[in-house]
Structure 1
Amino acid sequence: MILLHTSDWHLGRSFHGTGLLESQRAVLDQLVSTVRERGVDAVLLAGDVYDRALPPADAVRLLDQTLAAIHAAGAQVVMTSGNHDSAVRLGFGGPLMAASGVHVRTDPERLAEPILLEGRDGERAAVYGIPYLEPRHLGQAWGVEPHHTPVMREAVRRIREDLTARGDDSDGRPLAAVVLAHLFAAGGHGSEGERDIGEGRHLDCEAEDPEALVGTLGQVPVSVFDGLDYVALGHLHGRQRMAEHVRYSGSPLPYSFGEWRQDKGGWLVHVDGGAVTRVEEVDWPGGRQLAVLAGPIAELLESAEHAWAEDRWVQVTVTDDERPEKALERLRTRFPHVLVFRHEPAGGRQERQKTYAQALRDAPSDLDLTTGFVHHVRERAATEQETALLETALTAARDKEAQA
């Protein structure tokens, strides 16, 4: 049996104001090709299917088309809700979809009810879907501390109880125990693309500071999953191995510039004899890729070393001492998909000798005052042409005042 572990599709997401739907469509087409070409028996989608609780219509349509394509390629789907999803909306129609091989787990009270999968070679697996668990709500309901680790321990305890009661399959064949979960595992490497799930904090927007989004309060030790055959994690966007049997697939696309060096894809999980015998990477280089560039503007515009970035979404940092004139406009002549522009002088920003209020008092003339304002705001002195325009405007203002 071959299982394909994926997560964090975030359908409907935008990237610095740019829609990602076509890139998401391209990478999901590659996922479906993997299902078809590798003979995948089931796709495990570990949460954050959508980017928000109320996804746009085109994102819902893309999910519908992708699930139909996976089914047509011969695989079943096990899908859970993440912290970005609305569990109720994602779970709508779940019992009906199960009849066609799309199994949705969004209700915490059903997490110990496995989906029993049989591969094309007769292998069997019990797949348990743990949706994102909100500790503040479930801790009280389950009689445990309202924190991520105790709540997840209770969820896994219920799964172990079911496995023990179930034993081997009815005809004596062993069952591989596979679990989907959406959480921050202790020791995992996050990025600024993930929303914080630390207790007491719920961010609902994109941010550029990774530390603002990825905390430590919500981290769950990997030891919680000891003894299970495979744990398919979602939430962190970088593909990574927490233990041989506990892994993040990462997101199929980069959703922050902090992910630009990551290879995106999933894991192919091979099950034989009721155990996981091999896990291999599968890459999906779909959609427009990212680039992070830095240097003097002349080098960025002229050096052949940056040609690889010309068709990518770009974050660029210009390191000239003064902010170059029309810097973003000039950069877009070579890199038309610049989304983030920064000016950070290579030698560091010089501390201002005077506050703006002091400079205002000390300006010897109105012209010095206005050109000083230009320099203060944009960190580049006014050009001769700009100085002339300001002088003309000041003269016109004085003449008008004299005529009043």
Structure 2
Amino acid sequence: MVRILHSADWQMGLRAQHVAEVAREVRQARLDAARKVILAANDLLVDAVVLAGDVFEDNQVENPLVHAVVAVLAQSRAPVYVLPGNHDALTPDAVYRRAAWKERPPHVRLLDGEAPVPIPGTSAVLLAAPLRQKKGMKDPTAEWRDVPGTDAIRIGVAHGSLRIEGRHAPDDFPIAMDAATRAGLDYLALGHWHGQYIHEGRTAYAGAHEPTKFGEEGSGQALLVELSARGATPRLTPVPTGALTWRAEELNLGLGAEAEAKRLRGLLSDVAVPSRTLVRLRTTGRAAVEAEAVVNSLEEGLRGRGFLHVKVERQDTPEVQVEGRLAEIARDSTLVSALLEDLSRPLDPGVSEAGRLAARRLLSDLVMEAWR
């Protein structure tokens, strides 16, 4: 049995300009989450920790941060294997060539070559594909070949994008979907995608150990990989590691600003530690005049609860703007003009004012959608 903890995309030194006012806290959280990875590895008694690229945001990070990361990795009881990714590629100015990195303890190893690397005390070997540039069109695993007849458990470590339609770019180190099978791997540990993703049981992205932005599904965790023997199906278990919570919520103001604000307050009422939570509110739909005050009050209330970060993205359409556009369209369309005139006539018996308003709203929604 071989047990590894697979992680990637720590991106220590992340600029976090999208949440600039709390960027320092976000960077600190990435270091806190890194400690959680190593603590989990120690608790789980793994044989190795494998970091599949992008430990650092770039090769320009400052030396104190490099020392801090080395200090975290040094706490691992198991050997740690670090692969250069595209953010921290093994270029002439790479962070891994600095004295600050070279001061690391012997059990923290850089995967900077192509020769198989044995994991001490196990029957497993690592095959590494270190990146030496920011972008590339070649599959970093292309040179790996199967070794028939070997009893050694073969674990590949690479950084790039699986060649899934719509999910990779030609210069994003595209990796063949059958890379694990072609190279006779028992497991392929990948980095680059921040969400945890498992392909056909033997190929997986662990996901970033800490979220980097809103809407990043599957991050904030690592993967415990257990391999019982050569050829056995890996047992993969997610391990939570995230330090901060990023909540992305939508408010459809077309459903009523007050009702949507109440719903959102209910959704966020169970947040145990607001000071460790970032919130993004995105408004949609058609907003009545009173919606502005409701949204402002909601934002102010959340800030008052002590959330680390609150951001409102207004993507709704003010009702006055909709009505103005509808009037413009009606001037050029006899059909729309006639429909609006019909809705302005005295009400027929049995038709309520609310019904007429609903009909007008439906008409304007349909027309606006058609004329976009």
Establish whether residue 222 from structure 1 lines up as the match of residue 177 from structure 2. yes
1:106-145 alignment runs, 5 A limit:
106=112, 110-111=113-114, 113-119=115-121, 123-132=122-131, 134=133
Q: Out of 138, 141, 145, which is 1:148 matched to?
A: 138
Identity across aligned pairs (percent)?
18
Q: How far is the alpha carbon of 1:235 from its aligned partner?
A: 0.2
Aligned CA distance change for structure 1 residues 23 and 189 (closer, same or farther; 3 Å): farther
Establish whether residue 64 from structure 1 lines up as the match of residue 70 from structure 2. yes
Q: Out of 298, 301, 316, which is 1:345 matched to?
A: 316
User: In angstroms, what is the RMSD of aligned CA positions?
Assistant: 3.3
Aligned CA distance change for structure 1 residues 82 and 352 (closer, same or farther; 3 Å): farther
Q: How far is the alpha carbon of 1:330 from its aligned partner?
A: 5.4
Q: Out of 38, 56, 77, which is 1:50 matched to?
A: 56
Aligned CA distance change for structure 1 residues 99 and 330 (closer, same or farther; 3 Å): closer
Q: How far is the alpha carbon of 1:291 from its aligned partner?
A: 0.8
**Which residue in 2 is equivalent to 1:333?**
301
Q: Distance in 2 between matches of 1:69 and 1:334?
A: 38
**Which residue in 2 is equivalent to 1:232?**
189
* 1:188 and 1:242 in contact (8 A); partners too: no
**Which residue in 1 is equivalent to 2:42?**
36
Establish whether residue 181 from structure 1 lines up as the match of residue 158 from structure 2. yes
Establish whether residue 294 from structure 1 lines up as the match of residue 250 from structure 2. yes
**Which residue in 2 is equivalent to 1:92?**
97
Equivalent position SS for 2:157? strand
Equivalent position SS for 1:268? strand
Tell me which moved more, 268-277 or 32-41. 268-277
2:97 maps to a residue whose letter is F
**Which residue in 1 is equivalent to 2:79?**
76
Aligned CA distance change for structure 1 residues 152 and 286 (closer, same or farther; 3 Å): closer
Tell me, which stretches of 5 or more residues in structure 2 are unaligned? Answer: 327-372
How many residue pairs get matched?
299
**Which residue in 2 is equivalent to 1:212?**
none
Aligned CA distance change for structure 1 residues 315 and 57 (closer, same or farther; 3 Å): farther
**Which residue in 2 is equivalent to 1:304?**
266
Aligned CA distance change for structure 1 residues 321 and 53 (closer, same or farther; 3 Å): farther
Q: Distance in 1 between matches of 2:186 and 2:235?
A: 11
Aligned CA distance change for structure 1 residues 156 and 238 (closer, same or farther; 3 Å): same
How big is each residue's C-alpha offset from its partner over 1:232-278, in whole Å with a ceiling of 9 and x where there is no partner?
A: 0000011011121111101011112121x436312212233344553
Establish whether residue 247 from structure 1 lines up as the match of residue 215 from structure 2. no
Aligned CA distance change for structure 1 residues 293 and 82 (closer, same or farther; 3 Å): same
* 2:190 and 2:205 in contact (8 A); partners too: yes
Q: Distance in 1 between matches of 2:120 and 2:232?
A: 14
Q: Distance in 1 between matches of 2:104 and 2:260?
A: 53
1:228 maps to a residue whose letter is L
Establish whether residue 324 from structure 1 lines up as the match of residue 287 from structure 2. no
Equivalent position SS for 2:322? coil
* 2:59 and 2:89 in contact (8 A); partners too: yes
Establish whether residue 8 from structure 1 lines up as the match of residue 14 from structure 2. no
1:156 maps to a residue whose letter is W
2:175 maps to a residue whose letter is V
**Which residue in 2 is equivalent to 1:210?**
none
Q: Distance in 1 between matches of 2:267 and 2:189?
A: 39
Q: Distance in 2 between matches of 1:248 and 1:189?
A: 17
Aligned CA distance change for structure 1 residues 313 and 268 (closer, same or farther; 3 Å): same
TM-score, length of structure 1 as denominator length: 0.64
Q: Distance in 1 between matches of 2:36 and 2:131?
A: 27
* 1:125 and 1:177 in contact (8 A); partners too: yes
Q: Distance in 2 between matches of 1:135 and 1:325?
A: 47
Aligned CA distance change for structure 1 residues 314 and 35 (closer, same or farther; 3 Å): same
How big is each residue's C-alpha offset from its partner over 1:216-243, in whole Å with a ceiling of 9 and x where there is no partner?
A: x753321133121110000001101112
Q: How far is the alpha carbon of 1:115 from its aligned partner?
A: 1.4
Equivalent position SS for 2:43? helix
* 2:37 and 2:241 in contact (8 A); partners too: no
Tell me, which stretches of 5 or more residues in structure 1 are unaligned? Answer: 137-145, 169-173, 191-195, 200-216, 355-404
Q: Distance in 2 between matches of 1:321 and 1:338?
A: 27
Aligned CA distance change for structure 1 residues 343 and 182 (closer, same or farther; 3 Å): same
Tell me which moved more, 25-34 or 45-54. 25-34
Aligned CA distance change for structure 1 residues 284 and 135 (closer, same or farther; 3 Å): closer
1:315 maps to a residue whose letter is R
